[in-house]
Amino acid sequence: MTYSRVGLLIGITASIVIALISTILYSRSSVSVEDSSKTDTVGGHTPGYPIVRTTGDVLDPTSSAIDPKAAVVDPMKYLRDFNYGRISKLSNGTSVREFTLIASDQQTKEVSPGVLYNVWTFNGTIPGPTIRATEGDLVRITLINNGTKFHSIHTHGIHPSEMDGVFEGIAPGGKFTYEFTAEPFGVFPYHCHMQPLEEHITHGLYGVYIVDPKKPRADADEMVMVMNGYDTDFDTENNFYTVNGIPYYYMHHPIQIDKNRLIRIYLVNILEFDPINNFHLHANVFDLYRTGTKLISDEYTDIVTMSQGERGILEFSYKYPGKYMFHAHKTEFAEKGWTGLFLVKDGTAQSVSENSNVTSVRNTTSYSIRELDNTTNLGATGGLR
Amino acid sequence: MMEREEGNTSNTYGITKRTILFGVIPFIVLGAMIILLLSSPGILFQSSIKPLPEVSIEKVEFSDGNVVAFVRNTGPSEITIAQADVNDRIHPAAIEPGRTLVRLADARVIIPFIWNAGEPYDIGITTDDGTRFSKTVNSAAPAPRPTIEQASTFALIGTYVGIIPVMMGLLWYPFIRRLSLNKYNFFLSLTAGLLVFLGIDALLESNEIGVDTVAPAFNAQILIIMVAIVSLISLLYVSQKLVQRASVRSRSDIEHDMGYESHSESHSGAGRDFPTFGSSLSSSQQQLLIRPIAISMMISIGIGLHNFGEGLAIGAAVLLGEVALSSFLILGFTLHNTTEGLAIVAPMAKSRRIPVTRLLTMGLIAGVPTIMGAWIGGFLYSPIATIIFLSIGAGAIFQVVYSVGSWIYHTNGNRGLLNNPSIITGFAVGMLIMYLTGLLI
């Protein structure tokens, strides 16, 4: 009859309209579209993980390099870059080393691929330049404050109160020269000590200050490593963890070292928010000189754990060629960027291309050394993008 | 004289033109203002602070070796997605169609990841300013794929949740027919109680989805109220037209039916408290015949819309891994929805006998949308569509409540609603039944 017919019609029409609207509103298919015109692959870093082909963009800080112009630091350049200062002599024969640090707090730079952050820097990089002197030298560090806030330089080590960089801040546009004798020998951090302290440090105002003993340490391939983090969303928890400023950088740009060559790492933990950080070396053990203030090894180990501001000198050499990981054994940090690779070369050649094939290691489940050298690159994610 | 007339005509003509002009002028001014504001940004209002990004992860799907997050830029400006993570640990990912999203644009973030079924996951993405947005999934479950098996599973669920309970409820038809007028009023108001509960439930549920899942940019809560109101008033209009048209067109039909109907009525002996129908029809008696069926039909449609929304929610819950479908859950829904069938038959109990096929049709109108809802919700989940349909359903339910209410007013001898204890009790019991059966879900 009429009612049920009309009702049925309304019911059917309503259902169709409903179905159509829903379909039009949300016709997003969840099935991956494969298009050969422009495809990238992602995944496959981990054995057993599927490799996804995509026509879109790849978000992969573990294998994609950062644009060097926008990056807050070039970690490969920073690694072995020691600044000995402008050297002159006093009449009594003491060496004078003069350094200039320019503080700024207005730049925005890339701290992880695709992530921009308001960085506060000494000389434009995080970490700031590594300052190096020999015990007994007269160190002069001129701070030029190019920023909009008060800044200072607080250097660890022995020095007079007025050179401690705590009670006198340098006003924006101001300038001050810190002067002290380099003592004792060891590895120290330097950082801004203005309030709020945590804010000034976590934004990037820090670097490493090395004092060599008068009798130099044994010849070695020396490098500096600063463990840090970035709290990019300001919730007092780090979003990224790095060694030398860029997450995962040494994963796609492994640090090349020679087999049997003595390696010396000046390791500093400047991480904020998290009370501890650590360094774990794969397939090896190292001599640990805590704070670097003694010449006798404190420990022979493969993990060193450091609280905020702690540091040490690590010495080791690799017996076998190949690729070896080093990372925080606090694995959360490792999985947020604090991971890197050593590439141990058989010969003595130092000038092998940095852009070596890393993904081959991650794409194979075989750990034979011979295979590591021979595997082909299965993924398209390796190297510079 | 001629000149004056001409003047008048041209004036009339001019007024029409001018009317258009007056209508358009505000738009011209508005357009000029928009151009001014957009062409030279910062000339009037300047801000050095970049607007905060806002990203909504609308849905997370788990498939074989992949986690797929559906993200939408719900902030005020264009954003770029930099990274993806699972449980706050960075993972390589692909983003389609691309990493840059204009306002309200969406993208799929595909993260190769070996996940474990049944475990909770927090899926995050980080924008280029380092802000992380995340969505927690309580229990990872493989996303339903639009396969025949999955579609028939949803159809089965819909049948159990929607069709079977409604049909079972229809079985009360003979029972209701045999009740005295006062008891009949009790069941009518019980129906109203059930429906009010359903309507409020739909509004609350859509509000919950709106708050939890839909980005603030969509103003979900005002959308819910708006859609419910529009749905209510337009269905009120439709039902009125339906009754009017039916009463005009089928008067002769009804008069023909009447003889048969009054005959059977006297046999059943149920009409003791009820006016006996004679061969001549007063307008109120006509209403008695026509309105109940129209009301029942509107109830079926209203419940159908509601069940469509419920189906969407069930499908989505399965998709999002929020519920594990169990026999107990289905049983709960079945018990809960059986009352819907009662709601359909109650208004018709005192009219002429309804053919079984028509009852079945009404049952199907009310029940089948559950299946369609489950399909759409399970395969093409969208929180916005879910809340829209839930709100349409709520509006439809309240329209039906209005119809039932005016019908009770009528059967109560136009003496108001709140003076009859059986009406009050029925209403309260109706809501209580829904509340108690709702505890099973």
- Measured between alpha carbons, how far is B373 from B205 in angstroms, rounded to an integer? 15
What per-residue confidence (pLDDT) applies to A136? 95
Per-residue pLDDT tens over the stretch A261-280: 999 999 999 999 999 999 99
What per-residue confidence (pLDDT) applies to A332? 94
Q: How many CB atoms lie within 10 A of CB A234?
A: 11
Subunit contact B112:A3, Cβ cutoff 8 A = no
Subunit contact B128:A114, Cβ cutoff 8 A = yes
Please, are residues A279 and A303 in contact by the beta-carbon 8 Å criterion? yes
DSSP state for residue B161 in the 8-state scheme: I
Subunit contact B368:A15, Cβ cutoff 8 A = yes
User: In the beta sheet, which residues pair with residue A89?
Assistant: A95
The CATH number linked to B71 is 2.60.40.10
Per-residue pLDDT tens over the stretch B104-127: 888 999 999 899 888 899 999 999
Tally of domains in chain B? 2
Interface test with A, best of B57, B81, B83, B360 (most A CBs within 10 A): B83
Whose tokens are 């429906």? That residue is B195
Max avg pLDDT among A145-159, B317-331, B402-416: A145-159
Please, are residues A340 and A251 in contact by the beta-carbon 8 Å criterion? yes
Subunit contact B83:A18, Cβ cutoff 8 A = no
Residue-wise DSSP of A346-383: SSS-----SS---HHHHT-S---HHHHHH-----S--S
Residues of B in contact with A13 (CB under 8 A): none
Q: How many CB atoms lie within 10 A of CB B149?
A: 9
Classify residue B273: in a domain, yes or no.
no
Classify residue B40: in a domain, yes or no.
no
Subunit contact A14:B238, Cβ cutoff 8 A = no
Which chain B residue has its CA at the smallest distance from A231's CA? B130
B242 lies in the same domain as B355:
yes
**Of the ranges A46-60, A192-206, A353-367, which one carries the lowest mean pLDDT score?**
A353-367
Per-residue pLDDT tens over the stretch A340-350: 999 999 875 44
B168 lies in the same domain as B221:
yes
Helix (H) / strand (E) element for B96: namely strand B93-96
Total residue length of chain B: 441
B239 lies in the same domain as B115:
no
B358 lies in the same domain as B329:
yes
Mean pLDDT, to the nearest integer, of B60-81?
89
Interface test with A, best of B110, B291, B301 (most A CBs within 10 A): B110
- Measured between alpha carbons, how far is B136 from B84 in angstroms, rounded to an integer? 14
- Measured between alpha carbons, how far is B377 from B314 in angstroms, rounded to an integer? 7
Residues of A in contact with B113 (CB under 8 A): 49
Rounded (10°) CA dihedral B202, B208, B213, B217: 90
Mean pLDDT, to the nearest integer, of B51-60?
86
Does residue A68 have a cis bond before it (omega within 30 degrees)? no
Residue B120, min C-alpha distance to chain A (Å): 18
Classify residue B229: in a domain, yes or no.
yes
B133 lies in the same domain as B159:
no
B273 vs B21 pLDDT, higher one: B21
Superfamily holding A75-354? Cupredoxins -  blue copper proteins (2.60.40.420)
B321 lies in the same domain as B409:
yes
Q: What is the ipTM of this complex?
A: 0.76
**Of the ranges A84-88, A291-295, B155-159, which one carries the lowest mean pLDDT score?**
B155-159
Of A7, A15, A59, the CB nearest to B81: A59
Which structure tokens are listed for A201?
A: 């440090």
Which structure tokens are listed for A373?
A: 């050298």
B74, B104, B137 - which closes a domain:
B137
Q: What percent of chain B has pLDDT over 70?
A: 80
Containing structural domain, residue B429: 148-248+281-438
Is the pLDDT at B338 greater than 80? The verdict is no
B413 lies in the same domain as B315:
yes
What per-residue confidence (pLDDT) applies to B11? 52
Count residue pairs from A and B with Cβ separation < 8 A. 190
- Measured between alpha carbons, how far is B131 from A383 in angstroms, rounded to an integer? 26
Whose tokens are 């992969």? That residue is A60
Q: What percent of chain B has pLDDT over 90?
A: 11
B176 lies in the same domain as B316:
yes
B315 contact partners, CB below 8 Å, separation of at least 6? B144, B154, B373, B374, B375, B376, B377, B378, B379, B381
Subunit contact A59:B238, Cβ cutoff 8 A = no
Subunit contact B94:A28, Cβ cutoff 8 A = no
B132 lies in the same domain as B174:
no
What per-residue confidence (pLDDT) applies to B343? 79
Residue type, A325: M
Which chain B residue has its CA at the smallest distance from A56's CA? B96
Residue A198 — very low, low, confident or very high, per pLDDT cuts 50/70/90? very high
Which chain A residue has its CA at the smallest distance from B113's CA? A49
Subunit contact A42:B92, Cβ cutoff 8 A = yes
Residues of A in contact with B63 (CB under 8 A): 30
Whose tokens are 């919950």? That residue is B208
Q: At what angle do helices B383-411 and B356-379 cross, to 10 degrees?
A: 160
Of B94, B304, B369, the CB nearest to A58: B94
Subunit contact B131:A232, Cβ cutoff 8 A = yes
Which structure tokens are listed for B125?
A: 């993405």
Which chain A residue has its CA at the smallest distance from B115's CA? A49
Residue type, B116: N
Interface test with B, best of A5, A6, A30 (most B CBs within 10 A): A30
B85, B114, B137 - which closes a domain:
B137
**pTM of the entire predicted model:** 0.73
Per-residue pLDDT tens over the stretch A44-68: 566 777 788 888 888 888 887 777 7
Residue type, B152: S
User: In the beta sheet, which residues pair with residue B416?
Assistant: none
What is the bridge-based pairing of β-strands A138-145 and A175-181?
A: antiparallel
Residue B45 — very low, low, confident or very high, per pLDDT cuts 50/70/90? low
B116, B137, B158 - which closes a domain:
B137
Nearest to B223 by CA among B401, B345, B387, B432: B387
